[in-house]
Amino acid sequence: MAMASPIVSAEPKHDKLRQLGIIALNGMFDEMDAEGVLRQAVDDLLPGDIAMVSSFGADSAVLLHLVSQVDPNLPVYFLETGKHFAETLDYVQTLKSRLGLANVIALHPDSADLKRFDPDGVLWETDPDSCCHIRKTEPLEKVLAGFGGWVTGRKRFQTAERGVLPHFELTSDDRIKVNPLAYFSNEDIEAYKARYDLPDHPLYQEGYKSIGCAPCTSAVADGEDPRAGRWRGLNKQECGIHFDFNGSIAKPVSQSQLTLFKDGEFKADPWRSWAEGDEASSVRYTHVPVSVFIEHREAFLASPHPIGLQVDPGEKVEEVADDLSRFSSVAINFPAFGDGRGYSSARLLRERYGYEGELRAIGDVLTDQIPFMRRCGINAFVVTNIATRKAIEADALAEVRLYYQPVGASREVPVGTRPFLRRNANYT
Amino acid sequence: MYRYDEFDAAFVNERVAQFSDQVRRRISGELTEDQFRPLRLMNGLYLQLHAYMLRVAVPYGTLNSRQMRMLAHIARKYDRGYGHFTTRQNIQYNWPKLRDVPAILADLASVEMHAIQTSGNCIRNVTTDQFAGAAADEIIDPRPVAEIIRQWSSLHPEFTFLPRKFKIAITGAPNDRAAVKFHDIGLMAQTNGSGEIGWAVYVGGGLGRTPMIAKLINGFVPHEHLLAYLESILRVYNRYGRRDNKYKARIKILVHEEGLENIKGQVEEEFAHIRGGVLTLPQEELDRINTYFAQPAYKDIGVVDIDIEREKIIDSAYGRFLENNTFPHARQGYTSVTISLKPIGGAPGDATADQMDVVADLAEKYSFDELRVSHEQNLVLPHVALTDLRAVYDALVEAELADANAGEITDMITCPGLDYCALANARSIPIAQDISQRFASPERQKEIGKLKIKISGCINACGHHHVGHIGILGVEKKGTELYQITVGGDGSEDAAVGKILGPGFVAEDVPDAIEKLVDAYIEKRESADETFIAAYRRLGDAPFKEALYGNG
């Protein structure tokens, strides 16, 4: 994937005058109401050079209403990720006609990117950062350069990170972000919606307080941070399209820190290990040890969240054979290079119990083992060893790609004259 | 014998290329010794006391003349002009330089040989009867099945990181010359009620610090299911064998601790799952491999009468050679000839490059280009026409390879010991040399008859001392080398582990001690036909204990 979006240094060097200008603007308009801030930006600061991005989510109506009051022809970009709730798409139409927005533009992900990186449409499950990247960041980057400023709907109350959000921000490339709703509280939003009788997002009343793509959005409980339902269970707050407080684009974890190698590349890992204090009913994207799963089996089976299984050496996969369809990922632990028990576990999962999901090796994963692991059905590797990382990236593993013995775990095809014993790995 | 086709050649060449690169990275400093260690071990390269040691696999002990000449070439070019044949039918080079190892492996590959899986915690070279495919007492030639096991076990993805090394031995004859009951898995050819030939499977045998005789886990496994059965055993072992203590990690400990019935239950359950699956061996495949081991084009020689007694009178050395170093052949008019690598005062199992060349020439000329390495560290010409026997003998005399002591007291198994090995506590080759000098006289050896002495320089028991009729184990006590003597061990189908009779002896006293045991046997035996081991079984420890330690 093209992870080549702007790399931003930690301390952006801004034009001093612009920086002072922003401080002045924030001082001058600190007390101004939202409509005033927006009008100032659209009419005075950046006439014809500003646009907005809207998710048409739970609280988009307020800002869109403001836009319709100030300039119904302002370009409003909508990221049509292809993963929205049907209710969201309906809501786009509702608001367009209700508010008379004349310039709503849908941004679609690059179809070649989708075909290459997310052919099955499940990237959100295995690698949500990359999913956001191709469905949001990249399409947006194509239009970013065309404007000197952007209107956002971000609010201070939304998450802890946004607590000091000002009205005007300078981005690393000296663009201006305008946050008319920065000081709005939840009550302000509700009051504004009531005053203008703005329609709610159809899912809002069902507990969805912050709405993104369907697969990565869940309802939040009363009193919970409204954005807690986004990428729930993952250490992920932003999709990468917003700018952080310093104005840098918040990027997914840098490529060199990624440790999960799967489908030919290192990618972000949505999974974590089971930890002390975790609750069976609420964890998601967590590899649950066999013993823990067995102990809380009913709760795990009842939970709607994606969970995985961790198989340590000596644990019997037989004991969870009936529940394998419950796991989106199985992690086989190889605590030491020489401990080969995991190879048997992997083959049993694949060949005897028909597990077809992600099967990953974790622990002491080194170059020499990976070819054997692959033949046993393991298709993802968490690699921390630097030499191994290099070897796997260069496809230069210590490997003999000709096999004598059949295993049932991988799609090996016979070569040569001896269909019984021989397989060749070069099929991939 | 088996010949590589394109696939086998490509397989070995890939492995050579891979290891050459690893050696290059080690020499350039890119790899540390710690990182390099598991890689070199998977290619049979050990770091010994003085230098690297390269162990080359001789699959089930079978060689042709071209391969033997290459072994000679390697000894000459990269080593000090000799090689050491081991109890696992392999050959070891004790002085190769690391930078030469890739070239050695490439040379080996050019004659269809390699060093894959001669070390490491994986399935090692399969060993068998040195007379396989020739012996008169054989039910079936075990080599085709041994070759199939070799292929199945080569770089097996599931079984490359076992708890410990894993050794399989196979014999096609009821008289076990491959010590199958002292292997992790032992296979003995078996005929079932309907006359079909299959395999009795023994599991959990071994020597080392905890000697165990393998137990029968399945009395009859047909050829077609053998690989599935082996995979079942290996899977149970891989999953449940101990990994907390390397000295308790062999399958013999698992079988011992869990009990045979328990392990058998697990293996049979596993077997029930995979039986009939991808590992089912098609008859066509067995037939195909069998053709590689087709009987050579024997000539119709008819009955050849060799009067050994007469020969003994005319040429006593030749007579003795006929008596000791020939083995009954299945084909009339032929015999298998043992070439002893146990010259009096020599290092057991060593052969010089020149000797290897002579043996290769003899194999080419007189034995249908076939050679064997025996687990008793000798070489064998398996198919020699009786009419050629004298010519073969004369050539061996010329090459100083005609020692006629096969099976006698000076035909000892000896590990390299403290002279070479990093693990050893005591020397073993000098002990063997002293004993060999003591019993050098052919008359004395003849008087003693069949007696197997086996010597190990440490508890790892590479010299198989546990199964020596007389076993000698070197230990280190307070800075001195001491030698414990055991009696009554047997590596054959009548498997037994020898017993320690009392305190050890210092090196100088070992030949005397052996002589006392031998004298006690000669005195007590019923006749010259009662062998040492038979007499021991009849008499028990007492007379031997008394011989060694007196009546105290």
**Structure token pair of residue A177:** 């972000």
Of B22, B278, B288, the CB nearest to A406: B278
Do B13 and B121 meet the contact criterion of CB atoms below 8 Å apart?
A: no
pLDDT at position A336 is: 87
Do B86 and B377 meet the contact criterion of CB atoms below 8 Å apart?
A: yes
C-beta atoms surrounding A190 within 10 Å: 14
pLDDT at position B528 is: 94
Residue linked to tokens 């066509």: B284
List where CATH 3.30.413.10 sits in chain B: 135-291, 413-549
Sign of CA dihedral A261, A262, A265, A266: negative
What does pLDDT average to over chain B? Answer: 93
pLDDT at position A54 is: 85
Report the pLDDT averaged over residues B44-61: 88
How far apart (Å, rounded) are the C-alpha atoms in residues A169 and A247? 7
Q: Angle at the Cα of B348 (from B343 to B352), degrees rounded to 5? A: 75
**Structure token pair of residue B343:** 């010259």
H helix and E strand count, chain A: 14, 16
Largest CA distance in chain A: 83
How far apart (Å, rounded) are the C-alpha atoms in residues A246 and A233? 26
CATH of B135-291, one of 3.30.70.20, 3.40.50.300, 3.30.413.10, 3.40.250.10: 3.30.413.10
Q: Do B161 and A340 touch (CB under 8 A)?
A: yes
Calculate the alpha carbon distances from B299 to A365, B307, B332, B333, B395 in Å. Answer: 58, 22, 10, 9, 22
pLDDT at position A333 is: 97
What is the DSSP track for A241-275?
-SB-TTS-B-PSSPGGG--EEETTEEE----EE--
> Which of B111, B12, B11, B115 has the alpha carbon at shortest distance from B57?
B115
A245 has a pLDDT exceeding 60: no
Q: Which residues of A are catalytic?
A: 239
Of B161, B277, B282, the CB nearest to A338: B161
ipTM associated with this complex: 0.92
How far apart (Å, rounded) are the C-alpha atoms in residues B83 and B108? 14
For the domain spanning B308-398, the CATH number is 3.90.480.20
How far apart (Å, rounded) are the C-alpha atoms in residues B431 and B233? 39
Interface residues of A toward B, Cβ cutoff 8 Å, are 313-314, 337-341, 343-345, 347, 352, 368-369, 371-373, 375-376, 387, 398-408, 415-418, 420-422
C-beta atoms surrounding A366 within 10 Å: 18
**Structure token pair of residue B197:** 């030939």
Give B301's DSSP letter: -
What does pLDDT average to over chain A? Answer: 80
How far apart (Å, rounded) are the C-alpha atoms in residues B139 and B128? 14
Measured in whole angstroms, how far is the alpha carbon of residue B169 from the centre of its chain? 9
pLDDT at position A254 is: 47
Return the percentage of chain A with pLDDT > 70, whole number.
79
What is the DSSP track for A2-22?
---SPP--SS----HHHHHHH
pLDDT at position A5 is: 33
**Structure token pair of residue B13:** 């060449």
Whether the CB of B159 is below 8 Å from some CB of chain A: the reply is yes
Any idea how long chain A is? 428
pLDDT in tens, A57-87: 877 899 999 999 999 999 999 988 888 888 8
Least confident of A233-242, B101-110, B225-234, B386-395: A233-242
Higher pLDDT, A182 or A408: A182
Q: Do A404 and B152 touch (CB under 8 A)?
A: yes
Largest CA distance in chain B: 68
A418 has a pLDDT exceeding 50: no
Any bridge partners for residue B329, and if so which?
A: B135
Report the pLDDT averaged over residues B281-301: 91
How far apart (Å, rounded) are the C-alpha atoms in residues B78 and B98? 10
Q: Do A398 and B161 touch (CB under 8 A)?
A: no
Q: Is B66 helix (H, G, I), strand (E, B) or coil?
A: helix
Beta strand spans in B419-545 (E): 453-456, 470-477, 480-487, 499-500, 505-506
Give B485's DSSP letter: E
Report the pLDDT averaged over residues A79-108: 90
Give A58's DSSP letter: T
pLDDT in tens, A120-161: 788 877 777 778 888 887 888 778 778 888 888 888 776 555
pLDDT in tens, B18-38: 888 888 888 888 778 877 887
Which domains does chain A possess? 16-229 (3.40.50.620), 255-427 (3.20.20)
Confidence of residue B438 (pLDDT cuts 50, 70, 90): very high
pLDDT at position A35 is: 87
Cα torsion through B120, B163, A348, A233, rounded to 10: -100
H helix and E strand count, chain B: 18, 21
Q: Is B92 helix (H, G, I), strand (E, B) or coil?
A: strand
Q: How many residue contacts between A and B have a Cβ separation below 8 Å?
A: 101
Do A139 and A79 meet the contact criterion of CB atoms below 8 Å apart?
A: yes
Do B257 and B288 meet the contact criterion of CB atoms below 8 Å apart?
A: no
C-beta atoms surrounding B444 within 10 Å: 15
How far apart (Å, rounded) are the C-alpha atoms in residues B298 and B303? 14
Q: Is A310 helix (H, G, I), strand (E, B) or coil?
A: strand
How far apart (Å, rounded) are the C-alpha atoms in residues B462 and B207? 8
Beta strand spans in A297-336 (E): 307-311, 327-334
Fold of B413-549: Sulfite Reductase Hemoprotein; domain 1 (3.30.413)
Measured in whole angstroms, how far is the alpha carbon of residue A224 from the centre of its chain? 20
How far apart (Å, rounded) are the C-alpha atoms in residues A373 and A332? 10
Whether the CB of B243 is below 8 Å from some CB of chain A: the reply is yes
How far apart (Å, rounded) are the C-alpha atoms in residues A312 and A344? 12
Report the pLDDT averaged over residues A19-25: 75
> Which of B60, B132, B66 has the alpha carbon at shortest distance from B89?
B60
> Which of A347, A405, A340, A334 has the alpha carbon at shortest distance from A376?
A347
CB contact residues (below 8 A), chain B span 282-321, against chain A:
282, 285, 288
pLDDT at position B104 is: 95
How far apart (Å, rounded) are the C-alpha atoms in residues B540 and B143? 38
Q: Do B158 and A376 touch (CB under 8 A)?
A: yes
Any bridge partners for residue B477, and if so which?
A: B480
pLDDT at position A51 is: 92
Residue linked to tokens 């054989």: B138
Question: What is the β-pairing status of strands B127-128 and B168-171?
Answer: parallel
Shortest distance between the Cα of B211 and any Cα of chain A, in A, equals: 25
How far apart (Å, rounded) are the C-alpha atoms in residues B452 and B449? 10
Nearest CA in chain A to B36: A368
Chain B residues in contact with A372 (beta carbon < 8 A)? 155, 157-158, 160-161
Higher pLDDT, B415 or B422: B415
Confidence of residue A414 (pLDDT cuts 50, 70, 90): very low
For the domain spanning B6-110, the CATH number is 3.90.480.20
Shortest distance between the Cα of B209 and any Cα of chain A, in A, equals: 22
pLDDT at position A240 is: 46
Q: Do B7 and A339 touch (CB under 8 A)?
A: no
Q: Angle at the Cα of A340 (from B148 to B230), degrees rounded to 5? A: 30
pLDDT at position A161 is: 53
pLDDT at position B552 is: 59
A3 has a pLDDT exceeding 50: no
Q: Which of B40, B121, B158, B271 has the highest number of chain A CBs within 10 A, making it the mutation to test binding with A?
A: B158
How far apart (Å, rounded) are the C-alpha atoms in residues B310 and B287? 45
List where CATH 3.90.480.20 sits in chain B: 6-110, 308-398
Do B55 and B96 meet the contact criterion of CB atoms below 8 Å apart?
A: no
